[in-house]
């Protein structure tokens, strides 16, 4: 694994927000399970050469791609660009390439995820929000086999 350069470390307020995420996420999962409301989201696979950028949330132990939910009236690509900016401070100049969709039940709710790919020539300097996203690393293909990843990321990797 290769560490990514980030712009700042967590502040006291960031640590409080991380604790709120860790406490709130299990409650949200329970609500999603009970309500059964479907979710639509996006994830962006960012390649730097052969390596793939994965991020870790403050409330999960598994690695994922940057991404999140699609807001009402938002296209999947617009959601992907917004999530990249919010979570890791990345505003890509290169196009986001559509890379398919996957449906499954993740985190206790039916979910439809639109995948995008972004290919970069060099590792970007990231600006992690330090609240939801607390770590980012580049994984080489051999390292991905051993990494604990979320269900949608596993589905994406299996299809590659």
Q: Give me 20's structure tokens.
A: 């709120």
If one looks up domain 2-159 in CATH, what number appears? 3.90.79.10
In order, the DSSP letters of 112-128 are EEEEEEEEESSPPPB--
pLDDT tier, 32 (very low <50, low <70, confident <90, very high otherwise): confident
Could you list the beta-strand ranges (E) of 83-151.
97-106, 109-120, 133-139
Q: How far apart are CA 72 and CA 79, in angstroms?
A: 10
> What rounded mean pLDDT belongs to the chain?
92
Q: How many CA atoms lie within 13 A of 138 on its CB side?
A: 19
Q: How many CA atoms lie within 13 A of 116 on its CB side?
A: 23
* Residues 96-138: tens digit of each pLDDT: 999 999 999 999 999 999 999 999 999 999 999 899 999 999 9
């Amino acid at each position: 694994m290769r560490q990514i350069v980030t712009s700042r470390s967590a502040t006291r307020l960031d640590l409080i927000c991380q604790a709120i995420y860790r406490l709130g996420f299990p409650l949200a999962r329970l609500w999603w399970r009970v309500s059964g409301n479907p979710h639509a989201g996006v994830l962006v696979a960012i390649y730097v050469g052969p390596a793939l950028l994965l991020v870790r949330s403050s409330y999960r132990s598994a690695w994922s791609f940057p991404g999140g939910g699609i807001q009402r009236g938002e296209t999947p690509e617009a959601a992907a660009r917004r999530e990249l900016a919010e979570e890791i401070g990345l505003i890509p100049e290169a196009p986001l390439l559509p890379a398919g969709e996957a449906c499954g039940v993740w985190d206790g709710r039916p979910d439809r995820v639109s995948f995008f790919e972004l290919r970069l020539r060099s590792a970007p300097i990231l600006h992690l929000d330090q609240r939801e996203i607390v770590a980012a690393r580049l994984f080489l293909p051999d390292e991905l086999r051993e990494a604990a990843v979320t269900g949608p990321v596993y589905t994406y990797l299996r299809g590659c």
